[in-house]
Amino acid sequence: MDLTVRIGGYSIQIHEPDNHPRLIWPLRPFDSFLIPPIPAPDLQVDVTVVSPLPDLPPGRLIFDSIHGCWKLSQSETGLLFESLDPKILQPRVRARLSSDYRAVQAWILPSLEGGQVGWSPMQLFNPLIEVCLLSRLSRDGGLLLHAAGLVFNQQGFVFTGPSGTGKSTIAELFAHRSAVVLSDERVILRRHGQTFSLYGTPWVGSGHYAENASAPISALYGINHGKEKHRLVPLGSSQAVTLLLQQAFLPHWDRSGLEMTLDFLTSLTMQKPSQGLSFLNQPDVVDFVCDHSSTLTMASG
């Protein structure tokens, strides 16, 4: 049975041939990212539900996340992946990945939910499929960013910053003005030729916004809560790149991918206006951002 989603413009297809029950699926908001099976997906994951997991040949460790939460190794047969069950800290998923992260052969332990034995697709999405998606994004010109993204008056706005700086707050303020909030937690930024686009993702924040849609990027904002009034500070390209890198999900295991990410961010911040935004939790911040954004767009054009 095939399970296919499209995230950030990438089609991701999971094929499990033995038709084991899928547990806790479809899971909101991933259900809105489901698409019909297609003949040539961008990422093909062939999964076998099996116990015990197969022993894969040892390889040279490339990356170890959070003391073994998941590992990526290089062996003679290709890239090897392993992730642990966080409850018992034992291997839950093992996989063999192609060097371009487009094809995955995975093995997953069966799970029990509500008295039913099956397998959980989310145990593949987090973190195996995320690892492949981050790697593909970096090589293709793009990244996954800790940010709120929305579309208002046909303009795509990106608001990024650490947890607690107001991403869900500003998303809600714009939503009250009928903006389409693509996400209030993670967005995907991509380059297509000379166009930079913003995509919604199924990874949500406290506002639970997630739209399977995209829009051209008009402006980027590094945000925080203001004290007396809304305030904007222009950011140079190097300042904006530093800000975005701090909030990006980076493929630390892929040196060439990291280099291409830097090139992408440099091009993005040189072509799109970047601002530091201190704002109050007040509805007029929407007009404040839009008024200044129009000025910036005219100046950059």
Relative to beta strand 214-225, strand 155-160 is: parallel
Instruction: Note whether 17 and 89 are same-domain residues.
Output: yes
Based on the fold, state whether residues 65 and 149 are members of the same structural domain: no
Structural domain count of the chain: 2
The pLDDT value given to residue 298: 42
Below-70 pLDDT ranges, the chain? 294-301
What strands lie across the sheet with 70-75, from one edge to the other?
2-7, 10-15, 43-49, 103-108, 90-97, 78-85, 70-75, 60-65
pLDDT (0 to 100) of residue 296: 59
Cα separation, 237 vs 188, in Å, equals: 19
Does one domain contain both 146 and 292?
A: yes
> Do residues 19 and 6 both lie within one domain?
yes
Mean pLDDT, the chain, whole residue set: 94
pLDDT digits (tens, 9 = 90+) for 82-129: 999 988 889 999 999 999 999 999 999 999 988 899 999 999 999 999
Angle between helices 255-271 and 237-247 (to 10 degrees): 130
pLDDT at 88: 87
pLDDT of residue 295: 62
What domain range is 152 assigned to? 141-300
CATH number for the domain harbouring residue 285: 3.90.228.20
Q: Is the pTM of this model over 0.85?
A: yes
Tell me which of 112, 139, 166 is where a domain ends: 139
User: Same structural domain for residues 184 and 223?
Assistant: yes
Do 163 and 293 lie in one domain? The reply is yes
Considering only CA atoms, which of 10, 11, 34 is closest in space to residue 22? Answer: 34
